[in-house]
Amino acid sequence: MANRLKMKYNGLKILIKRVLSSSALLLLVVSLVFLIIRIAPGNPANKFLSPDLSPKLFEKIQERYAFDGSLPEQYFKFVENIFSGNLGYSITFKIPVTEVIFQFLSLTVILAIAAFITQTLISVILVFLTYRNKSVNNKIQKLSLIIYTVPSYVIGLYLVIIFSVLLGIMPISGLPDAQSAGILDYFHHLMLPVVTLSLPGIALFFSYLNDAVQKNKNEGYVLLFRSIGMSEKKIFLKHILPNSIVPLLSIVAIEVGFLLSGSLIVEVLYSLPGFGKLTFTAFMDRDYPLIIGTTLFTAFVMIFSNMAADLIKYYFDKRFRELI
Amino acid sequence: MKIKKIPVLLHFLTGVFILTLILNFWYIFDLYSLTFNILNTDQPSAIFNSNLTLTIISVSFFLFLPFLLLGEKIKLFLKQKLTIRNTILSLILFAVLFPGLLSSQGANFFPDAPGFRLLPPASVKYFSETTPNANSNEEYLVKVRDNLLSYKSPDERLYKENRNSFINVNSEIEKTFFLLGTDFLGRDLYSMIISGTRVSFIISISAAGLAGILGIIFGFISGYKSKFIGRTLDRLSDTLLAIPGIFFVLLLTLFFSSDFIALIIILGITGWMSLFKIVRTEVSAIKKQNYFLSARKMGFSETHLIFREIFPVIMGPLVVNITFLIANIILAEATLSYLGVDFGSGYPTWGELIESGQQYIRHSWWLVVFPAGVLSVSIIALYNSAINLQKKFRY
C-alpha cells in the first residue's frame, strides 16, 4: 500500500516537473523569437505592417508592442501579447494570424492523421507477414533503410511520374474544386500525398517494431501458445505485438516532428494549402507576424509532443519509472 | 553486390583516368594551347573567366594525380575492393575534382535554338555555328538552319550548296550527343548534373567542416573542462535536436543575407549537435581511464594530452559521424534548393535541377528522374560507406 502510494506521488511529481520544464522551454522559444525580430535587419515596427498602410496604424502598432520603449519593456509587452493570443495581422493575408493558422491547419491535420494510421497499419502488417521468414525480412529491412535515407520529395516525384504521368490514374497536384467535389474526389487527390508522407514513417516504424518482435518471437510463452495450437494471428496480435509496442512509443515525439517537416515538403510538392506550405510561404515572403505565429505553433506542438511522449513512456514502461 | 574480378579501387580510378584522357584529349590540347596563348600575350584577358580557370586547375591537378598516388597511406586506402558504393563515390570524386573532363560542355552552355529544347535522353543533334554574310538571304539562312536542326542526319548537299552565303565559324557540321537529354533552355542535363555535384559537395564539405569544428570544440570544452558549460550546452543541443531540421534552417535564413557563405554557415550551425554529443561522451569516458590518468600524473602538457592521448582514440567515431554529417548536409542543401530558397551559387545545384524539372514533369520525365536519382544514389552510397566505416572501427 505504501509502495503504491509512493508510486502515485512519484508520478505526480514527475508530471509537475515535466510540465514546468516544458513551459520553461516554451518561454525560451518565445524569447528566441523576440531575439529574431530584434536581430533581423530593419525596423521591427515595419515588420508588422505592409509599408503602404497609414502612419496612424504604424503608431498603433508601435504603441501595442512598445517599440519606442526600452528593451525589457518591449520584451515583456511581447510576451504578454503572445500569451494573450494577440499575434497581430498577417501582412499577406490581412487577417489575424491565429485565424490564418487555423484556416490552413485542417488539411495538415487530416494529412498527418491519415499518414499516421497508414504507416502504423502497414508496418504492423509487414512485420506480421515477414517476422518468421528471415530472408524476406532482411530484404525488407534493407529496403526500409533505403526509403528512410532517400528524401521524401524524391519519392513523391517518382510516385507522380509513375502514377500520374505514365499511368494517368492520379492527379498531379492540388485539391479538387471546392464547390463540385465530393469526398471521393478529395480522397483521390490526397492519396499520393498521404503515401509520400507515410513511406519514411513506415520504414521507421517497421525497423523499430521488427527489432522488438525479433527479440520476442522465441520467448517461452510464444512457444507454449504455438504448442497448444493457438492460431498464428492470435499469437501475434494478442501476445507478441503488445509486448513489443513499447519501443514504438519512444519515437512518438520524433514521429510528430517527422510529420511536421514532412508535411511542409509534401505540401510544397503537391501544392496543397496546408500549414507547412503556409510556414514556407511566410518565410519566403518575410511575413514576420505569420513567421512568429507558425514558429510558436510548431514549437508548442513539438514541446507538447515531447512531454506527452515522456509521460506515455512513464506509464507504459516500468523500467523507465525506476530510472527517474 | 561485389564485383570480384577487379580487387583494387586503384585500377578503377586509373581506368577512368585513362578513359577520360583519351576521350578528352583534344579538349585538353585546346585548353593548353589556350592557356599558352593567354600567358604569352602581354595584355591579360579583360574578363576573368572563372569556368576556364577552374577547368585549367582541375586539368593540372589531374595530370599531377599519379605523383600524388605514390604516397603510402593513399595506396593503402586505394587497396579496397571495388563495390558499387566505391564506384559511385569515386565517380563523385571525379565529378567534384574534374567536371571539365567528364563533360566537355560547361553547365551554362546552351545553343540558343528551338530545336534543342527538352530533348529526350540519348538524342543526337547536328548544328553548325553560322553567321550570315552581308549579302546572304535571310530566308535561306532560316531554311538551312531548320533543315540542320530538324533532321536526324543533316542534308549535307543543301548545306554545301549554300555554303557561300555564310561566313562559317566552324565549317564542319558538329555532332552533339545529349546523354541525359536537355532542359527547357536546351542545356545539357548531364553537364548540369556534373557541375551540380561540384557545387553540392563543396558546400556540404565546408559546412560539415564548420559543424565538425564547432562540435569538437564544444564537446572538448564540455567534456574536458567545465561541467557547468557542458550541462548548458547539452540542454541547448537537446532543444535544437527536438526542432525539426527544416524549420531550424528556415529560421536561420532570416538572420543571414542570401549568399554562398551564408548557406555554409547556416548548414554548419544546424549540424553540430550530434558530433558534440559524441565527443562529449567519449572525452568524459576517456578522462576516467587509467592510461589517461597516468599520463596526466606523468606531467604531460595539456596539448599533448589532448592531441596525443584523446584525439587518436576518438578518431574512429569522429570519422564515421562526419561521413554521416556530409550526407545529411547534402540532403539539407538539396532540400533547401528544391524548396526554392535561393542562395545564388551561379550554378544549378541538384535541388534546383529537380525543382526546375518539376515544372515540366508532364512531358519530360528525364528532367526529374535523373537529378533525383543521382541525389538519392549518392546519399545512399555515403550512408553505406559510413556504416561500413562504423563496422571497421568496431564501436
Q: CB under 8 Å to B168, separation ≥6 — which residues?
A: B128, B129, B130
* CB within 8 Å: B250 and A303: no
Q: What is the pLDDT of residue A48?
A: 64
Q: What is the pLDDT of residue B6?
A: 47
In the beta sheet, which residues pair with residue B126? B175
C-alpha cell at B79: 587497396
Nearest by CB to residue B375, choosing from A154, A258, A268, is A154
Specify burial of residue A133 (Cβ count, 10 A radius: 0-12, 13-18, 19+).
exposed
CA distances from residue B278 to B227, B267, B273, B315 in whole angstroms, order as listed: 16, 19, 9, 11
Q: CB under 8 Å to B33, separation ≥6 — which residues?
A: none
Alpha-carbon distance B77 to nearest alpha carbon in chain A (angstroms): 26
CA–CA separation, B278 and B314 (whole Å): 9
Whether residue A159 is predicted with pLDDT greater than 90 in this model: the reply is yes
Q: Write out pLDDT tens, residues B26-72.
A: 666 666 666 565 555 554 444 445 556 666 666 677 667 667 666 66
Sequence-separated contacts (24+) of A186-194 with Cβ below 8 Å: A190/A110, A190/A111, A190/A114, A190/A272, A192/A156, A192/A159, A192/A160, A192/A163, A192/A164, A192/A270, A193/A111, A193/A156, A193/A266, A193/A267, A193/A269, A193/A270, A193/A272, A194/A111, A194/A114, A194/A115, A194/A118
pLDDT confidence of A194, banded at 50, 70, 90? very high
Whether residue B161 is predicted with pLDDT greater than 70 in this model: the reply is no
* CB within 8 Å: A258 and B368: no
- Higher confidence at residue A79 or residue B320? B320
Closest alpha carbon within chain A to B383: A149
Whether residue A115 is predicted with pLDDT greater than 90 in this model: the reply is yes
Q: CB under 8 Å to B264, separation ≥6 — which residues?
A: B203, B206, B207, B210
Nearest by CB to residue B361, choosing from A151, A172, A265, is A172
Range B302-322 average pLDDT? 87
Nearest by CB to residue A154, choosing from B246, B339, B372, is B372
pLDDT confidence of B134, banded at 50, 70, 90? low
B109, B191 Cβ separation under 8 angstroms: yes
Q: What is the pLDDT of residue B373?
A: 93
B335 contacts in chain A (CB < 8 Å): 151, 153, 265
* CB within 8 Å: B365 and A157: no
* Side chain identity at residue A219, one-letter code: E
Planar angle of CA B348, B353, B359, nearest 5 degrees: 135
Q: What is the pLDDT of residue B179?
A: 82
Sequence-separated contacts (24+) of B134-138 with Cβ below 8 Å: B135/B165, B136/B165, B136/B166, B137/B165
C-alpha cell at A1: 500500500
Range B383-393 average pLDDT? 86
Average model confidence (pLDDT) across chain A: 83
* CB within 8 Å: B365 and A161: yes
Interface A:B, Cβ pairs < 8 A: 90
Our CA dihedral for B112, B113, B114, B116, rounded to 10 degrees, sits at -90
Q: Give buried/exposed letters for B245-261 (b at 16+ CB in 10 A, else e).
A: bbbbbbbbbbeeeeeee
Of B238, B257, B367, B376, which to mutate for an interface test with A (greatest number of A Cβ within 10 Å)? B376
CA–CA separation, B323 and B239 (whole Å): 24
The CATH architecture that domain A98-323 belongs to is Orthogonal Bundle (1.10)
Closest alpha carbon within chain B to A305: B242
Closest alpha carbon within chain A to B254: A40
Alpha-carbon distance B149 to nearest alpha carbon in chain A (angstroms): 28
Q: Write out pLDDT tens, residues A216-228.
A: 888 888 889 888 9
B360 contacts in chain A (CB < 8 Å): none
Q: Where are the domains of chain A?
A: 98-323
Q: A-side interface with B, Cβ within 8 Å?
A: 25, 28, 36, 39-40, 145-146, 149-151, 153-154, 157-158, 160-161, 165-166, 172, 253, 257-258, 260-261, 264-265, 268-269, 279-280, 283-284, 286, 291, 295, 298-299, 302-303, 306
Range A61-90 average pLDDT? 75
Q: What is the pLDDT of residue B168?
A: 47
pLDDT confidence of A318, banded at 50, 70, 90? low
Of A33, A38, A153, A166, which to mutate for an interface test with B (greatest number of B Cβ within 10 Å)? A153
Global confidence as pTM: 0.82
CA–CA separation, B13 and B74 (whole Å): 13
Whether residue B8 is predicted with pLDDT greater than 80 in this model: the reply is no
Whether residue A193 is predicted with pLDDT greater than 90 in this model: the reply is yes
Alpha-carbon distance A29 to nearest alpha carbon in chain B (angstroms): 10
* CB within 8 Å: A149 and B372: no
ipTM of the complex: 0.83
Q: What is the pLDDT of residue B194?
A: 86
Nearest by CB to residue A40, choosing from B255, B338, B383, is B255
Q: Write out pLDDT tens, residues B348-373.
A: 788 888 998 888 888 888 899 999 99
In the beta sheet, which residues pair with residue B132? B166
Q: What is the pLDDT of residue B171?
A: 47
Range B161-176 average pLDDT? 53
CA distances from residue B29 to B34, B56, B126 in whole angstroms, order as listed: 8, 11, 23
Closest alpha carbon within chain B to A149: B380
Range B195-218 average pLDDT? 88
A207 contacts in chain B (CB < 8 Å): none
Share of chain A above pLDDT 90, in %: 21
Q: Write out pLDDT tens, residues B105-119.
A: 655 555 556 667 777
Q: What is the pLDDT of residue A109?
A: 92
A150 contacts in chain B (CB < 8 Å): 376, 379-380
Alpha-carbon distance A128 to nearest alpha carbon in chain B (angstroms): 27
Q: What is the pLDDT of residue A198?
A: 92
From A69-73, A80-84, A234-238, B244-248, the region with the lowest mean pLDDT:
A69-73
Of A157, A255, A256, A269, which to mutate for an interface test with B (greatest number of B Cβ within 10 Å)? A157
Nearest by CB to residue B354, choosing from A36, A157, A283, is A157
B369 contacts in chain A (CB < 8 Å): 158, 161
pLDDT confidence of B152, banded at 50, 70, 90? very low
H or E segment and range at residue B177: strand B174-178
H or E segment and range at residue B373: helix B366-393
From A124-133, B181-190, B205-214, the region with the lowest mean pLDDT:
B181-190
A193, A272 Cβ separation under 8 angstroms: yes
Whether residue B156 is predicted with pLDDT greater than 90 in this model: the reply is no
Average model confidence (pLDDT) across chain B: 76
A172 contacts in chain B (CB < 8 Å): 361-362
Q: Are strands B174-178 and B123-127 parallel, antiparallel or unpaired?
A: antiparallel
* CB within 8 Å: B368 and A161: yes
3-class secondary-structure state, position B127: strand
